[in-house]
Amino acid sequence: MAKQLGMPPYLKKHLENEMIGKDIDGFRVEQFVAAGNTAVTYKVTDKEGFTWALKIVTCKSYGDRTPFREISRFSDATDERFLVFPKGVGDWKLKLRRKDYEFIWFKSEYIDGQTLRDFLSSSA
């Protein structure tokens, strides 16, 4: 399996600290939730006022692999108990330091609770 390409530190810092109140492809960022090596997750509201979790992943992190393979794994799922199932997907660009960064976003149900990282560290 190919190694994932992480975000540059200044990009990750910007996404963690500077996006509250900003728009990502029609979603208003309400709160930073968590960040990993290749992605950042926010609590957002859509134009109708519904709350969602929005995970943005750099396109570069996928390398030669297509992100739709990740989504297709969920296409036949009928068990809605698993909240990580994407309910929508799209793309978004951010210009920072005179450079364009391309992202894929995944929209899923937002649940106000522990992050996966917090849960795993609490049960160790």
Domain residue extents for the chain: 9-122
Q: What is the pLDDT of residues 74-109, one digit of tens each?
A: 556 666 665 567 788 899 999 998 999 999 999 988
pTM: 0.80
Task: Tell me the residue ranges of DSSP E strands in the chain.
Answer: 23-24, 27-35, 39-45, 51-58, 88-96, 99-109
CB 92 within 8 A of CB 40: no
Has residue 67 got a pLDDT over 70? Answer: no
Q: What is the pLDDT of residues 8-44, one digit of tens each?
A: 999 999 999 999 999 999 999 999 999 988 899 999 9
3-state helix, strand, coil in the chain (%, to 5): 20, 35, 45
- At residue 111, the pLDDT reads 84
Q: What is the CATH number of domain 9-122?
A: 3.30.200.20
